[in-house]
Structure 1
Amino acid sequence: MFSFITNFKKNANRKKLKDSAFEFLFDDDKSGEYVVFDTETTGLNPKVDEILSIGAVKIKDNRVLTSQTFEVFLQNSKEISSNSIKIHGIRPFDLKDAKTTKEGIVEFLNFIGSRPLIGYYLEFDVAMINRYTKPLLGINLPNKMIEVSEIYFDKTISLIPQGNIDLRFDTILKNCSIPNMGAHNAVNDAIMTAMIYLKLTKEKE
């Protein structure tokens, strides 16, 4: 039943596609790869905030393909607040050579193809991407989504059945014995998230 509903939603989404050049997003993925991605934004409201950068990395055969990372900076129409700069470190100067949102999103879509997407609080990042794909192509991202915090929760709740599970990124990183790469940016966050995913799924197996 769940599979039927998923396919129905995917087909309904596909019918809204404005540009046949992006039909590949709906193909069955045969690459055996996953894409882990993260966004840095002007704020936390997908309805009004904008993407400043997108970082991504591929996983294949239980390996993070660090030689195949993706990073793009996007032009924005709003002033970047000092509070958000403290979080992501992206200053107006860093965006002087940024690409248009259309250019950046198209590059990202070509990078991910129809591969499953992995992320930490992925729902937010996907909502941010959809803010651009909806007016540009008429669709939401059709890719399969995998949330690492859910995997971590399911794995941890059996050890602390009535406890509160700390789902903060740094906590998950520490408990999975993954080194913190320091600089907070979209690419580094994507690589660390990829390592968390592999740690959790390998142990699950």
Structure 2
Amino acid sequence: MSLFSWLRPASPVLPDELRQRLAQLPAIGELSECSLREQRWVVLDLETTGLNLNKDRVLSIGAVVIEDGAIDFGQQFERTLQCRELKLGPSVLIHGLGPNAIAAGSEPAEALVDLLEFMGNSPVLAFHAPFDQHMLGRAMKEHLGHKLQQVFLDVADIAPLVCPQAHIREAGLDEWINWFRLDVFERHNASADALATAELALILFSRARQQQIHSPLNLQHRVNQWKRRQQTHSF
């Protein structure tokens, strides 16, 4: 036994059924060179207890699929996670998830395996994706002992890349919704925000194709180049 093994949290003990389902998940590869339209995308949003990357927790998950160039309303995912010893902060005023809704939620390990099966090996889109990726990765590690491997792309980076004329690089989701004049009737719950992000992503994919960005892999490369230029110009 390692001298420092006691410092590492113990891996969760999972029922055989969940372990079998984890073992059957598809392998996650690199982004494809297929067309943006041909790619199946999972658009994800989380509601959390707050914005602290190390202490706050995932409360709910909403996701929708873009496939064949359109939102597939037959492929939607929504779960509220049970969260023991929860201390609700000011965020409850935004997402509206109170103690009763959380107590009636899904057992986290079961819900997270459901999500992994829903995502499959598809790349994930989210607005401010690094936050969602980090928080979801922590939850996967805590409840499943599983490393999140899906490729995430940030819609908050794609938008100013393909629409520089908007001059709203640091904008939030609401600002982009308003700039494109999208009709969004509900906000600030995970499912509604995932749907709004998916609607925005479809517009951005159309703009990307006009700029000769035709594949998920090409889109990732262009986003990375754009981010490096932004970092260089900030110094």
TM-score tier after normalising by the smaller chain length: 0.7 to 0.9
Per the alignment, residue 22 of structure 1 pairs with 22
Segments of structure 2 that go 5 or more residues without pairing to the other structure are: 1-13, 33-37, 210-235
Q: 2: distance between equivalents of 1:36 and 1:149?
A: 13
Separation of aligned partners in 2, 1:136 and 1:72: 15
- What's the TM-score once normalised by structure 1's chain length? 0.80
Given candidates 106, 117, 122, the residue that maps to 2:124 is: 117
- Tell me the secondary structure at the aligned position of residue 91 of structure 2: helix
1:152 to 128, 152, 159: 159
8 Å Cα contact 2:64-2:77 kept in structure 1: yes
Partner of 1:198: 202
Of residues 68, 71, 88 in structure 1, which corresponds to 2:75? Answer: 68
Give the one of 107, 111, 117 matched to 1:104: 111
TM-score (norm 2): 0.71
Please say if residues 58 and 139 of structure 2, whose CA atoms lie closer than 8 Å, have aligned partners that are also in contact.
no
Pair 164,98 (structure 1): closer, same or farther in 2 beyond 3 Å: closer
> Conserved in 1, the CA contact under 8 Å of 2:22 and 2:113?
no
Instruction: Give the fraction of aligned pairs with identical amino acids, expressed as a percent.
Output: 29
Deviation of 1:165 (Å): 2.8
Match of 2:177 in 1: 173
Q: AA paired with 2:141?
A: K
How many Å separate the matches in 2 of 1:25 and 1:48? 30
Q: How many residues align?
A: 184
CA–CA distance in 2 between the matches of 1:154 and 1:32?
20
> Per-residue deviation at 1:53?
0.5
Deviation at 1:21, TM superposition (A): 4.4
Task: Give the direction of change, closer, same or farther, for the CA distance of 1:21–1:95 in structure 2 (3 Å limit).
Answer: closer
Unaligned 5+ runs, structure 1: 1-17
